[in-house]
A and B are shown apart, each in its own frame.
Chain A
Amino acid sequence: MAKQVKQLDRVIIRFAGDSGDGMQLTGDRFTSESAVFGNDLMTLPNFPAEIRAPQGTIPGVSSFQVHFADHDILTAGDAPDVLVAMNPAALKANVGDLPAGATIIVDTHDFTKRNLDKAGYDVNPLDLLGDANDALGSFSVHPVDLTGMTVEAVKEFGLSRKDAARAKNMFALGLLSWMYGRPTEGTESFLSRRFAKVPDIRDANLTAFKTGWNFGETTETFVVQYEIKPAKMPPGTYRNITGNLALAYGLIAGGVRSGLPVFLGSYPITPASDILHELSKHKAFGVTTLQAEDEIAGVGAAIGASFGGSLGVTTTSGPGIALKGEAIGLAVMTELPLVVVNVQRGGPSTGLPTKTEQSDLLQAMFGRNGEAPVPIVAPQSPGDCFSAAVEAARIAVTYRTPVMLLSDGYLANGSEPWRIPELDDLPLIDPAFAVPADDGAEFRPYDRDPSTLARAWAPPGVAGLEHRIGGLEKADGTGNISYDPANHDLMVRTRQAKVDRIAESLPPLEVDDPSGHAKVLVLGWGSTYGPIGAGCRRVRKAGYDVAQVHLRHLNPFPKDLGDILRRYDKVLVPEMNLGQLSMLVRARYLVDAQGYNQVRGLPLKAADLAEAIGHLVAEAEGIDVDLSAATTEEV
């Protein structure tokens, strides 16, 4: 039958199923297909901390949301247009996020009494479709026996029923790929590679994928195929990339651009472990990875390697930073380069290991004994993790200091098309190792470069530069132990001045204020870049003015930040915490920054932000703000 083709400018799809249903893989493949097709996109994986949470239950639901469009987009989207639900729990857990009119494709196979009970359904919601009390009445629901059709399609390969049913995610992927006109070659070659050693499983998955596609094309259940044209993006070569992968590549690039071997000391922790896994693959770049006995040993080994002339790196999440605090202080005192990566997750304590949050900013800033200033760098999107990591390496090596790189769970696992940079465009980092003085003068490890205030870095192995460093207070210049009161005061101030000096190397902030008339400024940092940008776009689309500034450097702040903040009547600081950046800018600049704060373990929503911005615009300009024209539209 001839299918109707409908043009769309953007779609948000959420794949949801049990933890073992392969939803992350399904979403990942759909994302790759969309990336290769040329859409702009953002993704939001969401999964439980348990590897296999109890099957069929709400806590066991794993989902993957992808937002793709024919124009540039900033977020993974607030609310899905399409939900693919593989079981009753997936339906129940996600239906609340859907706007009226959304499409639901549901695998009917697991809607058994037992699974309905587990999900907390008294009656099968699919039995009520079309009835007066149909709870799904405001959605377009397509009940399909995905599992049954998969099992039937792969019968010829003689798999167990369980193995056959496991290919249902590829059936669903095939169906959705048909529906949105995705190219399929990438997934086919992926499946061929992934299951090369198990031909039965490979063929079953390939067959399920193709059968899903064909089902879409032939069934009367789906009458419309959608087309989302490629997005117009700045010229360049692109790939799809997650934040953790980009961050790992950035660390390798930092090593290459500084000519230093990278040494990672790390202890596995969600959601940072993938950086350890990735770096472990790249020994050919001279990268050493040591899986330490604990968080402290991880940073300790990195400091030891830095003392030896490597670029020491340690990767962790908030709880790990808490353990590493004393050692980071040692790196502050010994003034050795060290990149400390914190992929933030929900806290406190063990908190929400697989969910995102920005609540470790003050920990990064102040979480050590004594006056122990540490520069802080934060990426704003998954692809941006690459250049943020290079920047962290630049600061660490140039200024001989630990640097905190604050990613988060959303950036780590989320993905987007990334314009691959030219290596020549990355900064060259000069380790500027100390050399013995020509006149044989005694080496002074705490003599400083007058422009950066960086001390001399002298790895062992050079005659004439023998010296001892450590955690005790250092005498200015010689680095010998000193308990002198005036020297301590000088050294505390010097270490602070050195970190402050980094601001001299930063470019001016980019203020996004298209009209130049905005009275309200939205200030953000880290992964809220997308939602804040999308919120601002909505407000502007509705005809109002708002400015946006996003910080890459949280310590030191860029030199022009204070002036920029004072130019606006109102400053809004949205954060996934209870107001940590807003506390810092209020204290530092005495501006009345107002927080917009949520700690739900999920990214902020553009619609909510638009509303918050709208309120402030109304207040600042003394007008009524009506966003109704813009808020229904995702940007």
Chain B
Amino acid sequence: MTATDLPMPDLRTGTELVPSIAEGETQTGKDFSSDQEVRWCPGCGDYAVLKAVQGFLPDLGLRRENIVFVSGIGCSSRFPYYLDTYGMHSIHGRAPSIATGLATAREDLSVWVVTGDGDALSIGGNHLIHALRRNVNMTILLFNNRIYGLTKGQYSPTSEPGKITKSTPMGSLDHPFNPVSLALGAEATFVARTIDSDRLHLTSVLSAAAAHRGTSLVEIYQNCPIFNDGAFDAIKDRDTKDDAIIPLVHGEPIVFGTGGGKGLVRERETGAIKVVEVGTDAGQVAVGDLLVHDAHDPDPSTAFAISRLTAADYLHQAPIGIFRQVTRPTYDDQARAQITSATQAAPGAVDERLTSLIHGGDTWTVA
């Protein structure tokens, strides 16, 4: 088999081909709210994300009719009903494949996928990794509450081992996925993590994700007050969050902990990422020697190593921010480019070309 050289990466932003609102026109969050009553449980983290998204969409300056939200099945997948854009609430796990078809067929749309840990990582795991490797221009919001909500409280593929649920009365035996590690392993071009309750951070990550041309995966830690309440307390509680959250800022040394007392270094011998004390005393590491976060590194190894600092059991530690943001040609741009070049190379009216096609080479005529 032979291969052909494909075009260079497209440096346009994720929304460059999507029509913008006219100059002078304004949009507000209200324009993006549909008339449907929101039906999540009181206290659900989904409310905060919905509010943030409704508040943030006007900032994109895109025409509302060119925005599409596609979801699968689960609590978070009700999301599209509450946004006055185009939307499809599809079937369990398949939203990435539906969005792939839509985004490939229509370059003028801003396509968003809303999914959960069960939808994206269990039943739809295959579609997720293939969307990421194809790098279709869309943004995937993965609401991770580490539990099955809509089916009423079974463990999910991100639940901690040993979790007692209705389907695991003696404790879950499953080893959990780390969604960020999984996405990096699938060579996703944009991988980030944020928290439902931190609107500022959530909005900044969503802005960067929307601007990225290619598949953006944003894991959003989201509390389920009914079936998994408190799962993210360590990273939300005023007293513990400074030690639990490892903030990632591109180009900055990775520092966390109360007063910036902790940091990350890469061990020379093993390549592993280690948490160290920051300072000038013996046994401490100077700020200048800490690992500087490089989200643009073409090699995902360091980003992957950082993602491994996420606690697999109770979430007492988690890096938050943009792990990786690199440029690679997108599937949909290239698919459309092939069609454009084939069409340009075939002049003539379509009817004539079709007639010629179906005649083929060897015909004979019966009078």
Contact = CB atoms under 8 A, between A and B. Distances in A.
Contacts, number: 205
3 closest Cβ pairs, A-B complex: A470-B89, A304-B101, A300-B97
Interface residues of B, number: 61
Contact of B101 (A32, A265, A420, A466): A265
Contacts of B366: 38, 232-238
Interface in B98-144: 98-106, 108-109, 126-127, 130
Interface in A240-289: 240-241, 249, 252-253, 256, 261, 263, 265, 282-288
A35 to B, nearest CB: 7
B318 to A, nearest CB: 29
Consensus secondary structure, chain A interface = mixed
B358 A237 contact: no
B338 to A, nearest CB: 6
B106 A461 contact: yes
A467 B88 CA distance: 9
Given A32-B362, A304-B88, A307-B98, 11 more contacts: A237-B365, A290-B104, A292-B97, A304-B70, A312-B101, A463-B64, A467-B86, A468-B80, A468-B86, A470-B81, A470-B89
Interface string A511-528: 000000000000000000
Interface residues of A, number: 73
Nearest to B360: A239
A296 interface: yes
B105 A288 contact: yes
Interface of B: 34, 36, 63-68, 70-71, 73, 80-81, 83-92, 94, 97-106, 108-109, 126-127, 130, 335, 338-339, 342-343, 345-346, 350-351, 353-355, 357-360, 362-367
Contacts of B100: 290, 297, 300-301, 304
Nearest to A481: B81
A284 B344 CA distance: 8
Contact of A480 (B36, B70, B357): B36
A308 B88 contact: no
Given A423-B354, A461-B109, A304 B342 contact: no
A457 to B, nearest CB: 12
B335 A238 contact: no
A386 B105 contact: no
A423 B353 CA distance: 11
Contacts of B92: 326
A256 B89 contact: no
B102 A305 contact: yes
A464 B105 CA distance: 21
B31 to A, nearest CB: 10
Interface of A: 32, 35-36, 38, 186, 232-241, 249, 252-253, 256, 261, 263, 265, 282-288, 290, 292-294, 296-298, 300-310, 312, 326-327, 329-330, 334, 386, 420-421, 423, 459-472, 480-481
A261 B340 CA distance: 13
A364 B355 CA distance: 32
A607 to B, nearest CB: 29
A633 to B, nearest CB: 25
A288 B103 CA distance: 12
